[in-house]
Copies of this chain bind each other. A is one copy, B any other.
Amino acid sequence: MAALSEDNQGSAVVGQQRSAKGRAPRIVIVGGGFGGLACASKLGGAPIDVTLIDRRNHNLFQPLLYQIATAILSPADISEPLRRTLGRTDNVEVVLAEVIDIDAQRKAVITRDGAPIEYDTLVIASGSVDNYLGHDEWKMHAPGLKTNRDARKVRETLLLAFERAELALDPQERKKLLTFVVVGGGPTGVELAGAIAELGSFLIRRDFRNISLNELNIILVEAGSGILSGFDKKLADYALKRLAARGVDVRLNTPVEAISEGDVTAGGRSIPAGCIIWGAGVRATPVAEWLGVKPARGGRVPVESDLRARGFDDIYVMGDAALVEDEDGNPLPALAQVAKQQGKYLGRKLRAEAEGKSRNAAFRFRNRGITAVVGRNDAVFQSGRLMLTGRPAWWLWAIVHVYLLVNFEKRLLVSVQWMWTFLTGQRNARIIDDSD
């Protein structure tokens, strides 16, 4: 491609510069989620070499993953390539690799396939994985919602269950196919159950002939005595009532005891189901194990007030992987806003240090409010003493979430699809394409 090779001199020069300034301190960030990406962005242009490692090539807007599972959006609508965000930041490089260990003595990150990656300062923002409560064998029968692939799999399982029920003559088989079980009554479980109820009623009204609405059976099982435990009781009760009105059978005090192919045992009863989805919480990626420290609750790594891993000088942990307490001693929740604020804080701090300024302020979380969607025009929102329900909460949620998307193109695409779904009920992405 000789005709085009001139264009490349820019990047060739960058490469030379990079090898020439090999002595610049090197910060390695593990994980391109909200925390890692915010940290890397703040370090752009600083006199540091930054390497961001992720096993995927994109930042995923996980709060909307349930909308891929329920056929409203496509993966690309909520996935931003890391290189797109960081591509113009000369001192930040992106490496696609899976981290499997940390060698703190040698100061190197160990990846599955490549050479160890050395650091001067290490930032671990590797997030969390679904917590199967010690039963990892349940995962294959009850996927969670952490990746695009998970969400596509759930979407396909849901849509296939309807297709099969449409043809099934055996009443028991039909009943099983049209029973969908969501495990866990947190925001993920509530949003999924609500969205499946809407998807199901739309499909039955518009797409399918031989299925009636009273055959649809959406069950939300929760081990505790209430749903949305992080919210005020008033809001949790509201959500519970609204879910019931939408046809979701919420079963409280119902711990899951076993899961096998197409069957959940919960509260002593077996529930044959066409789709089982795990939304019962997360645990930290095995960072504590990598560092050889004792994990705190949820596998999280205890950190100092500046996010430094306890017992280390040069390793920081943040986001879902870190245990940070608020002023009352409660652990901060595993939320995007926590990770993002920590990433910005840490990026600013490390940048200041690299520039010779000192910055000793501790991290302080500013709660932007929490929200959970129950369905169209219906959500709960809480920020301190402010509580909203129903339409105002839903619109606030929708506007905030569109705004939080990374760029204008995604905002426009998501808005168009939401408007369409809002006005017509249609689900643009109800495609089954993995079957061979």
| Residues of A near any B CB (own CB < 8 A) | 1-5, 7-8, 11-12, 14-15, 18, 55-58, 74-77, 79, 81, 83-84, 87-88, 93, 95-97, 114, 147-149, 152, 159-160, 163-164, 166-167, 201, 203-214, 216-217, 245, 247, 409-410, 412-413, 416-417, 420, 426, 428-436
User: Are A56 and B433 touching (Cβ within 8 A)?
Assistant: yes
Residues from chain B with a CB closer than 8 A to the CB of A97 are 167
Cβ–Cβ contact A213 & B7, under 8 A? yes
Cβ-neighbour of A4 out of B15, B166, B201 (below 8 A) = B201
Q: Is the CB of A8 within 8 A of B204?
A: yes
Total copies of this chain within the assembly: 2
- What is the distance, in angstroms, from A32's C-beta to the closest C-beta of chain B? 12
Q: Could you say which of B83, B245, B435 contacts A55, with CB atoms under 8 Å apart?
A: B435
Residues of B within 8 A of A420 (CB): 409
A95-B167, A167-B114, A432-B57 known; A83+B207 contact, CB < 8 A:
yes
Q: How far is the CA of A417 from the CA of B214 in the complex (A)?
A: 40
Partner of A430, one of B57, B426, B430: B57
Q: Could you tell me if B214 and A8 are in contact, using CB atoms closer than 8 angstroms? A: yes
Question: B58 and A3: CB pair below 8 A?
Answer: no
- CB nearest neighbor in B for A164: B96
A426 B84 Cβ-Cβ under 8 A: yes
Nearest chain-B residue to A206 (Cβ)?
B87
B76 touches A149 (CB 8 A): no
A-B contact pairs, 17 of them (CB 8 A): A1-B214, A1-B217, A1-B247, A3-B247, A8-B204, A8-B205, A12-B212, A14-B209, A15-B209, A56-B433, A81-B430, A83-B208, A84-B207, A96-B164, A409-B416, A412-B416, A413-B417
Question: Which 6 A-B residue pairings sit nearest by Cβ, starting from the closest?
Answer: A1-B247, A83-B207, A76-B429, A74-B74, A148-B433, A8-B212
A4-B201, A96-B164 known; 20 new pairs, CB 8 Å cut-off, are: A1-B213, A1-B214, A1-B217, A4-B247, A7-B201, A8-B205, A11-B205, A11-B212, A56-B435, A57-B159, A81-B207, A81-B431, A83-B203, A83-B208, A84-B206, A84-B430, A96-B166, A147-B436, A152-B433, A413-B413
Tell me whether A58 and B2 are in contact in the complex, defined as CB-CB below 8 angstroms, given that A18-B209, A75-B74, A209-B93 are known contacts.
Answer: no
Considering only CB atoms, which chain B residue lies closest to A147 in the complex? B433
Please pick, from B11, B56, B149, B214, the residue contacting A204 in the complex, using a CB distance under 8 A. B11
Cβ distance A22 to chain B, nearest Cβ, rounded Å: 15
Partner of A409, one of B76, B148, B205, B417: B417
Residues of B within 8 A of A152 (CB): 433
| B contact residues around A428 at 8 Å (CB) | 76, 409-410, 413
Contact A1 B216 (CB under 8 A): yes
Q: Which residues of B contact A210 (CB under 8 A)?
A: 11, 15
Instruction: Give the most central of A4, A58, A210, A214: most B CB within 10 Å.
Output: A4
Q: Is the pair B58, A431 in contact by a Cβ cutoff of 8 Å?
A: yes
Residues of B within 8 A of A114 (CB): 167
User: How far, in angstroms, from A3 to B245 measured CA to CA in the complex?
Assistant: 7
Q: How far is the CA of A84 from the CA of B413 in the complex (A)?
A: 21
B431 touching A214, Cβ below 8 Å:
no
- Given contact pairs A7-B205, A83-B208, A212-B11, A149 touches B18 in the complex (Cβ within 8 A): no
Question: Which residues does chain B contribute within 8 Å of A57, judged by CB atoms?
Answer: 159, 163, 430-432
Q: B74, A76: Cβ atoms under 8 Å? A: yes
Give the Cβ gap from A50 to chain B, nearest Cβ, in Å: 12
Assess whether B431 is in contact with A76, with CB atoms less than 8 Å apart: yes
Q: How far is the CA of A116 from the CA of B279 in the complex (A)?
A: 40
**B residues in contact with A409, CB < 8 Å:** 416-417, 420, 426, 428
CB contacts (< 8 Å) of A166 on chain B: these are 95-96
Is B212 within 8 A of A75, CB to CB?
A: no
Residues of chain B contacted by A81 (CB below 8 angstroms): 207, 430-431
Residues of B within 8 A of A15 (CB): 209-210
Give the nearest-CB partner of A83 in chain B: B207
User: Inside 8 A of A160's CB, which chain B residues have their CB?
Assistant: 96
User: Nearest-CB distance from A54 to chain B (Å)?
Assistant: 10
Determine the distance from Cα of A114 to Cα of B1 in the docked complex, in whole angstroms.
Answer: 54
